[in-house]
């Protein structure tokens, strides 16, 4: 399964941090493979990470998201999808005089069914309804898309595996592609490796404050609440790595009295890392921990959870600093159920966490 290069797919990146960049890119890569299109990365709508001065996770507004080529490794994807770099949208120079087809995707309210709608009343149709959960609509990628040379997608944010309802073969293929062929740039892995080695045996927690104090205050909890959550899963006096954008270290004093706390600034990097390089290293450190506790509604925590699933970590539980944990209920009233049903029913955005279907698919 690979793109034929007979048509192009362009898109507008989702603004924000590296995980918004990743999710949007994963959606576009999935579409490119399914529609057999060359994916055109809009270079001038991204910013090189060296040019991004704002603190990661801070309150400053960045005009452009980070360039995914600085963050992620595309080498393994080129067997499955053709990738080109474009600029000057609209129009992108290689695609001048082409007629674009706008494809709007809203993963929070819609699911895309491919290649066709299952017969009503069939088991596959019931699976589609369960996959859709309480979202309002199913989107079909119509036949005429194959005859349009240039498909353009407006900004879309969501997980590829909660957005695309595929047949079993395609579903496993796409999930394997992202697990085995897509990940952080080798430079990010090289930056994180010595830091992980320094920590030895450790658990990790992500505490998102800063921007979350204004954006999602309900996802911000006190150090005492965080400590209570940690105590239920991580033994006292063990080493605890804290990934955070909180600049006042004294906030963590209650936790430091119980655990051997380490933070990024305590570790010695081989070189001065750019802020987004440090953020990627932070995520990789947490992904390598024995136990990880994340921050609710943080895509930073979410991708750490998925990486742990990819790596087959001994503990892949989805835990949060507020003391809650995500259920993995798959059965309800005798029918198959997807684990994002509760999130949709509660009105929680799907991008706010990862779901076990993203990495538990080989025997599903």
What pLDDT does 98 receive?
Answer: 64
Quick one: pLDDT at residue 94?
A: 55
**Greater pLDDT, 333 or 107:** 107
- Assign residue 121 a region: left if phi > 0, alpha if psi is -120 to 50, beta otherwise? left
Q: Give the model confidence (pLDDT) of 173-190 as tens digits.
A: 999 999 999 999 999 999
Q: Per DSSP, what are the bridge partners of residue 292? A: 204
- Helix (H, G, I), strand (E, B), or coil: what is residue 56? coil
Least confident of 72-81, 132-141, 297-306, 329-338: 329-338
- Quick one: CA dihedral 63, 68, 70, 71, positive or negative? positive
Sheet holding 260-263, edge to edge: 260-263, 239-244, 203-207, 292-294, 319-320
Contact 303, 19 (CB under 8 A): yes
Lowest model confidence (mean pLDDT) among 130-144, 231-245, 298-312: 130-144
For the residues 331-350, what does the mean pLDDT come to?
Answer: 74
Are 290 and 199 in contact by the 8 Å Cβ rule? The answer is: no
Taking the alpha carbons at both ends of the chain, their separation in whole angstroms is: 21
| pLDDT-derived band at 355, boundaries 50, 70, 90 | very high
Q: Tell me the Ramachandran region of residue 202: left when phi exceeds 0, alpha when psi lies from -120 to 50, beta otherwise.
A: beta
Name the 3-class secondary structure at 26: helix
Instruction: For residue 268, count other CB atoms closer than 10 A to its CB.
Output: 8
Say which CATH class 185-325 falls into.
Answer: alpha beta
The reported pLDDT for the residue numbered 332 is: 44
Q: Render pLDDT for 7-19 as a digit per residue (tens, 0 to 9).
A: 889 998 988 889 9
Compute the residue count for the chain: 364
| Alpha helices for the chain (secondary structure H) | 18-35, 68-71, 123-132, 160-163, 168-181, 186-199, 212-215, 223-231, 253-256, 275-287, 299-311, 341-345
Q: Where in the chain is the domain with CATH 3.40.50.11350?
A: 185-325
Range with the poorest average pLDDT among 24-33, 51-60, 99-108, 140-149: 51-60
pLDDT digits 0-9 by tens, 191-229: 999 999 999 999 999 999 988 988 899 999 999 999 999
Long-range contact list for 79-83, CB < 8 A, 24+ apart?
79/2, 79/181, 80/1, 80/2, 80/3, 80/33, 80/177, 80/181, 81/2, 81/3, 81/29, 81/32, 81/33, 81/38, 81/39, 82/2, 82/3, 82/5, 82/32, 82/38, 82/39, 83/38, 83/39, 83/41
């Amino acid at each position: 399964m690979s793109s034929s290069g007979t048509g192009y797919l362009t898109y507008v990146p989702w603004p924000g941090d590296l995980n918004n960049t990743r999710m949007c890119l994963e959606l576009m890569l999935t579409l490119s493979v399914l529609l057999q299109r060359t994916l055109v990365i809009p270079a001038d709508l991204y910013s090189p990470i060296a040019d991004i001065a704002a603190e990661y996770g801070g309150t400053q507004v960045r005009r452009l998201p980070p360039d995914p080529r600085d963050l992620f490794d595309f080498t393994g994807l080129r067997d499955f999808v053709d990738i080109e770099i474009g600029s000057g949208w609209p129009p992108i120079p290689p695609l001048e005089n082409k007629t674009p087809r706008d494809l709007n995707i809203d993963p929070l309210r819609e699911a895309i069914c491919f290649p066709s709608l299952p017969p009503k009343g069939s088991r596959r149709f019931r699976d589609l309804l369960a996959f859709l959960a309480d979202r309002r609509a199913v989107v079909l990628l119509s036949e005429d898309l194959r005859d349009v040379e240039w498909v353009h997608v407006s900004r879309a944010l969501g997980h590829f595996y909660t957005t695309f309802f595929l047949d079993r073969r395609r579903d496993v293929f796409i999930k394997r592609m992202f697990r085995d062929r897509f990940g952080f740039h080798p430079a990010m892995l090289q930056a994180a490796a010595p830091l992980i080695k320094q920590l030895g045996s450790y658990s990790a927690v992500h505490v998102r404050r800063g921007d979350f104090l204004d954006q999602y205050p309900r996802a911000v909890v006190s150090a005492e609440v965080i400590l209570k959550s940690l105590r239920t899963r991580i033994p006292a006096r063990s080493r605890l790595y804290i990934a955070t954008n909180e600049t006042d270290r004294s906030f963590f004093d209650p936790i430091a009295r119980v655990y051997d706390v380490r933070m990024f600034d305590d570790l010695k990097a081989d070189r001065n890392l750019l802020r987004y390089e440090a953020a990627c290293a932070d995520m990789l450190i947490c992904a390598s921990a024995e136990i990880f506790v994340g921050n609710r509604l943080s895509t930073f925590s979410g991708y750490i959870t998925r990486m742990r699933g990819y790596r087959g970590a001994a503990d892949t539980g989805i835990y949060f600093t507020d003391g809650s944990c995500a259920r993995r209920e798959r059965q309800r009233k005798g029918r198959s159920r997807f684990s994002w049903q509760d999130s949709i029913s509660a009105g929680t955005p799907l991008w706010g966490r990862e779901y076990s279907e993203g990495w538990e698919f080989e025997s599903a």
